[in-house]
Amino acid sequence: MLNMSFPLLNINGLSISFNTERGPLQVVSKISLTIRNAEVFGLVGESGCGKSLTALSILRILPNNAYTEGEIFFNNENLLSLPDDQMRKIRGKDISMVFQEPMTSLNPVLTIGYQIAEALRTHYKLSKGAAMDRTIDLLRAVKMPSAELRVKDYPHQLSGGMRQRVLIAMAISCNPALLIADEPTTALDVTVQAQILELLQELRRQRNMAIMLITHDLGIISEQAERVAIMYAGRIMEVADVDELFQNPLHPYTICLLESLPRAKGTALKPIPGFVPSPNQLPKGCKFSDRCRWATDESKSKEPELLEVSRNHYVRCINWNRIQRERF
């Protein structure tokens, strides 16, 4: 490790549970991960695996009936134990977020300029005029054409890609050290998606900002991220550098995901059998064991730990060694 000081974000044993009528229901279980300065960290998983909840818990904007255990250190400060008013100073300033749906995350009755300026005025106590000047600069930074006219537009006057640019402008307005992007391009067409991803990379380089990129698209991860965590059923199954993950996947879930993607034409795909279990019906041992073709009695009865099997490569599987030998 070159950086001997603490990482930018360090999640340590984070669990998220919901209070339900039938008692507490744990949906994210003991997640640990670190995000370094200015890196793009990819968080991959299918819907319902807890990746968005993890993101929301960092900003402490989980629904009211959810509670967290564990620690989230940001700049060596535990976010989960900060008083509310201090958290408010971090939220939207040092850590900010871009959501999936650019339509639903903008207020339809306010101009986009007002909405972007709001964060600046709150965090920097800028005057209206000064905030508006900064807003125009921000819109230029996200490549919004004719920015000085567009500030007065309402969200419905913009296309999906332009709205996502507005959200990004809002998120970077206070120069955050960490930007959480939760499926930022899922609602967009491929050509627009490519532009938005390129924009995020450019902003990251200019502003030295780390990005936590949440997606289900392994292609996006391969092109954009430096480190990747694969989540399944509220657990992290594998963490590795991106090249390592795609060249040498070790967890059965990662292997199966990669095998299930269409590649050579006409050859049968290898789909993952079954479906993602709901959080109250998880198998007893390894949470993937009911769909895993390498499952053993041991992995079905006892949940494995996330172990570092080679430098910076973590896997939650007791059979990884055997599987690797069998595959090659």
Partner 1 sequence: MEQNSERTLLVVESIKKYFSTKGGLFKPDKWLKAVDGVSFDVKNDSVFALVGESGCGKSTLARLILKLLFLTEGRILFKGEDISGMTGESLRRFRRSVQIVFQDPFASLNPRMRVIDTLSEPLRIHKLVARRETREKVVQLLEKVGLNQSILNKYPHEFSGGQRQRICIARALSVSPQLIVADEPLSALDVSIQAQILNLLQDLKKETAISLILISHDLNVVHYLSDEVAVMYLGKIVEKAKTEDMFRSPKHPYTELLLSSVPKINFRGHESRLASSKPTVKQGYDVSKPGSEPDSDAPSPLNIPPGCPFHPRCPKRFDVCDKVVPTLKVSGDSLVSCHLY
Could you say whether residue 194 binds partner 1 (CB under 8 A)? yes
Q: Residue from 216, 294, 303, 324 that binds partner 1 (CB under 8 A)?
A: 216
The least CB distance from residue 79 to partner 1, in Å, is: 29
Q: Residue from 242, 250, 306, 323 that binds partner 1 (CB under 8 A)?
A: 242
Q: Round to the nearest angstrom and report the end-to-end CA distance of the chain.
A: 31
Question: Of the candidates 219, 209, 206, which has an alpha carbon nearest to the alpha carbon of residue 176?
Answer: 209
Using CB under 8 A as the criterion, what x/- string covers residues 71-110 for binding partner 1? ----------------------------------------
The least CB distance from residue 187 to partner 1, in Å, is: 9
β-bridge partners, 11: 33, 72
Q: Report 218-237 residues binding partner 1 (CB under 8 A).
A: 218-220, 222-224
With CB under 8 A as the contact rule, which of the stretches 50-58, 67-75, 201-209, 318-326 interacts with partner 1? Answer: 201-209
Question: Of the candidates 221, 184, 196, 15, which has an alpha carbon nearest to the alpha carbon of residue 100?
Answer: 184
Q: How far apart are CA 120 and CA 92, in angstroms?
A: 10
Q: What are phi and psi of 98, to 5 degrees?
A: -115, 125
Rounded to 10 degrees, the C-alpha dihedral 251/295/300/306 comes to -20
The one-letter code for the residue type at 10 is: N
β-bridge partners, 34: 10
Q: How far apart are CA 86 and CA 35, in angstroms?
A: 22
The token pair that represents 160 in the structure block? 């999906």
Q: Report 37-66 residues binding partner 1 (CB under 8 A).
A: 46-47
Secondary structure (3-state) at 311:
coil
- Number of chain residues interacting with partner 1 (CB under 8 A): 51
The least CB distance from residue 82 to partner 1, in Å, is: 34
With CB under 8 A as the contact rule, which of the stretches 79-87, 169-177, 190-198, 319-327 interacts with partner 1? Answer: 190-198
User: For the chain, what is the radius of gyration of the CA atoms?
Assistant: 21
86 exposed, middle or buried (CB, 10 Å; 0-12, 13-18, 19+)?
A: exposed
The least CB distance from residue 270 to partner 1, in Å, is: 7
CB atoms within 10 A of CB 216: 16
Question: Of the candidates 108, 97, 237, 94, which has an alpha carbon nearest to the alpha carbon of residue 174?
Answer: 94
Q: How far apart are CA 52 and CA 184, in angstroms?
A: 12
Could you say whether residue 201 binds partner 1 (CB under 8 A)? yes
> Considering beta carbons, is residue 218 or 315 the nearer one to partner 1?
218
With CB under 8 A as the contact rule, which of the stretches 12-20, 138-146, 167-175, 298-306 interacts with partner 1? Answer: 138-146
Cα torsion 206, 144, 52, 190: sign? negative
Q: Report 15-34 residues binding partner 1 (CB under 8 A).
A: none
**HSE on the CB side for 138, CA within 13 Å?**
27
DSSP count for the chain of H helices, then E strands: 12, 12
Q: Report 243-282 residues binding partner 1 (CB under 8 A).
A: 243-244, 246-247, 256-258, 260-263, 265-266, 268-272, 275-276
The least CB distance from residue 166 to partner 1, in Å, is: 13
Could you say whether residue 296 binds partner 1 (CB under 8 A)? no
Q: Residue from 191, 325, 326, 328 that binds partner 1 (CB under 8 A)?
A: 191
Using CB under 8 A as the criterion, what x/- string covers residues 147-186 for binding partner 1? ------------xxxx------------------------
> Considering beta carbons, is residue 59 or 196 the nearer one to partner 1?
196
Residues that bind partner 1 (CB under 8 A): 46-47, 140, 143, 145-146, 159-162, 189-195, 197-198, 201-202, 205, 216-220, 222-224, 242-244, 246-247, 256-258, 260-263, 265-266, 268-272, 275-276
